[in-house]
């Protein structure tokens, strides 16, 4: 099974299926109900949080032939596309000529935007609106942005623009000011777990709760990444998937392996710590992922050292025993030493990705940490 099959197979077909972006869904569906559709939208936020999915849903909703009118508006709290009319089906099947999706990463020049401007002049072939979705819009050139700005300033009545970006700071303020801006957030862990559990049920696969939690944690707030990881795990065609199998497939390490390294650092045992890192590397685990887990673990330790009550915010996925263990480890570090250790391993984690010997940045951080007072 391709690890993208799950994500594509269960892509939301209604606004109510969108996970973790209720604030955006509520605003958009109410605007659709009231007939207050803007000519340009800007969706910004982390990758995999639903920007393109919501853009497609909006394109479908504005063209849906079942949009409420008159008295019907008062009976509805919001509006969902019907998914039954010819317009909805045409978009669902990916054959609408009036929904134009552009990847700005590969179509970033002024010629492409000029071509787009020329196409806007023509009325929609079948639907009520022509909808232009420009993904990764921040990658457009300065000249392309200027050309796009002219279009946004005087858009034809039949055109709607939906711009999406992960890097809003690279989008000119002149563009931002002409769009309705919506900020997508990372999806909370519990909602990702709920979504993954539902997907597993649809596929008739049993996965241990701890395994689902690990997949969600590695998704780092991204629904798309989490679902892709779930698809990767399901590709083993095992109907009963365990935590150990997920750890092996994803190349991640149990939290106890991270805690063990912290113990060596606290006791200034650099030799044992370096041996531990090399053992992990020799067993085939992903050191990039391990370094990420290590920094995350140290962050939790710092927060718990500041205030144990912060466990609700920073360590909600851990058991009470694990939290108590981290607190005990934190007592072995002074606040200054812990902060320095975190900085050392943040730097090491960034260097692991491009090092010829991935374990070397971690080894250097270990030596410096153990030799410091």
In a domain, 1, yes or no: no
Same domain? 111 vs 145: yes
Lowest mean pLDDT among 114-128, 295-309, 334-348: 114-128
pLDDT for 320 equals 77
Which residue segment(s) compose the domain that 234 sits in? 189-250
User: DSSP code of 188?
Assistant: P
Distances (CA, A) of 32 to 40, 104, 122, 155, 300: 14, 27, 24, 19, 43
For residue 137 the two structure tokens come to 């819009």
Point out the least confidently predicted range of 69-78, 104-113, 319-328. 69-78
pLDDT over threshold 90, residue 343: yes
One domain, residues 58 and 157: yes
Q: Does 93 share its domain with 136?
A: yes
Q: Which pLDDT belongs to residue 71?
A: 40
> What pLDDT sits at residue 41?
95
Identify whether residues 179 and 196 lie together within a single domain: no
Residue 272 vs residue 234, higher pLDDT? 272
In a domain, 4, yes or no: no
pLDDT of res. 150:
84
On whether residue 2 sits in a domain, the answer given is: no
CATH number, domain of 216, equals 1.10.8.60
CATH assignment at residue 342: 1.20.272.10
Per-chain mean pLDDT for the chain: 85
Q: Which two tokens stand for residue 353?
A: 């990705």
Secondary structure E strands in 147-276:
159-165, 180-183, 206-207, 240-241
Tens-digit pLDDT profile for residues 34-63: 888 899 999 999 888 999 999 999 999 999
CA 214 to chain centre: 15
Say how many domains are in the chain.
3
SS3 269: coil
Residues 196 and 308 in one domain: no
Over residues 227-252, mean pLDDT? 80
Q: Which of 164, 183, 202 is the last residue of a domain?
A: 183
Q: Is residue 123 part of a domain?
A: yes
Same domain? 164 vs 193: no
Does one domain contain both 295 and 351?
Answer: yes
Do 241 and 169 fall within a single domain? no
> How many helices (H) and strands (E) in the chain?
19, 7
69-79 average pLDDT score: 53
Asked if residue 70 has pLDDT above 50, the reply is no
Q: Which of 250, 266, 295 is the last residue in one of the domains? A: 250
Residues 115 and 227 both lie in one domain:
no
State mean pLDDT over 341-359.
90
**Best-predicted range by mean pLDDT (67-71, 222-226, 314-318):** 222-226
In the predicted model, what is the mean pLDDT of residues 296-317?
A: 81
pLDDT for 169-188, tens place per residue?
Answer: 999 999 999 999 999 988 88
Q: Is the pLDDT of residue 22 over 60?
A: yes
Choosing from 130, 165, 183, the residue where a domain stops is 183
- Whether residue 333 is contained in a domain is answered as yes
pLDDT (tens digit per residue) in 91-146: 998 888 889 888 887 766 677 777 777 778 788 888 889 999 999 999 888 888 88
Domain CATH code at residue 174: 3.40.50.300
Answer yes or no: do 141 and 171 share one domain: yes
* Structure confidence at residue 74 (pLDDT): 44
Q: Do 241 and 196 belong to one domain?
A: yes
Quote the CA–CA distance of 319 and 84 in Å, as a whole number.
46
């Amino acid at each position: 099974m391709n690890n993208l099959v799950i994500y594509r197979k269960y892509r939301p077909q209604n606004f109510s299926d969108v996970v973790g972006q209720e604030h955006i869904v509520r605003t958009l569906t109410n605007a659709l109900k009231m007939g207050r559709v803007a000519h340009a939208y800007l969706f910004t936020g982390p990758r995999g949080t639903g920007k393109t999915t919501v853009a497609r849903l909006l394109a479908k909703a504005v063209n849906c032939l079942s949009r409420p009118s008159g008295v019907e508006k008062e009976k509805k709290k919001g509006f969902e596309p019907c998914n039954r009319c010819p317009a909805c089906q045409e978009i669902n099947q990916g054959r609408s000529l009036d929904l134009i999706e552009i990847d700005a990463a590969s179509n970033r020049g002024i010629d492409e935007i000029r071509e787009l401007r020329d196409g806007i002049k023509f009325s929609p072939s079948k639907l009520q609106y022509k909808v232009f979705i420009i993904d990764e819009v921040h990658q457009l050139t300065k000249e392309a942005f200027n050309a796009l700005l002219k279009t946004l300033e005087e858009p034809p009545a039949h055109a709607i623009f939906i711009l999406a970006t992960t890097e809003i700071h690279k989008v000119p303020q002149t563009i931002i000011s002409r769009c309705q801006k919506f900020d997508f957030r990372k999806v909370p862990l519990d909602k990702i777990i709920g979504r993954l559990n539902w997907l597993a049920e649809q596929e008739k696969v049993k996965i241990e709760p701890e395994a689902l939690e690990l997949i969600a944690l590695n998704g780092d707030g991204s629904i798309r990444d989490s679902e892709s990881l779930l698809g990767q795990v399901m590709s083993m065609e095992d109907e009963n998937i365990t935590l150990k199998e997920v750890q092996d497939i994803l190349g991640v390490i149990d939290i106890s392996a991270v805690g063990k390294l912290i113990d060596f650092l606290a006791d200034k045992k650099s030799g044992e710590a370096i041996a531990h890192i090399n053992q992990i590397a020799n067993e085939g685990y992903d050191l990039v992922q391990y370094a990420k887990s290590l920094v995350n673990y140290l962050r939790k330790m710092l927060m718990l050292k500041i205030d144990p009550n912060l466990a609700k915010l920073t360590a909600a996925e851990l058991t009470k025993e694990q939290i108590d263990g981290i607190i005990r480890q934190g007592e072995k570090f002074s606040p200054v030493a812990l902060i320095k250790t975190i900085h050392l391993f943040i730097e090491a984690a960034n260097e692991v990705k491009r090092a010829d010997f991935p374990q070397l940045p971690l080894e250097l951080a270990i030596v410096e940490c153990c030799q410091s007072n």
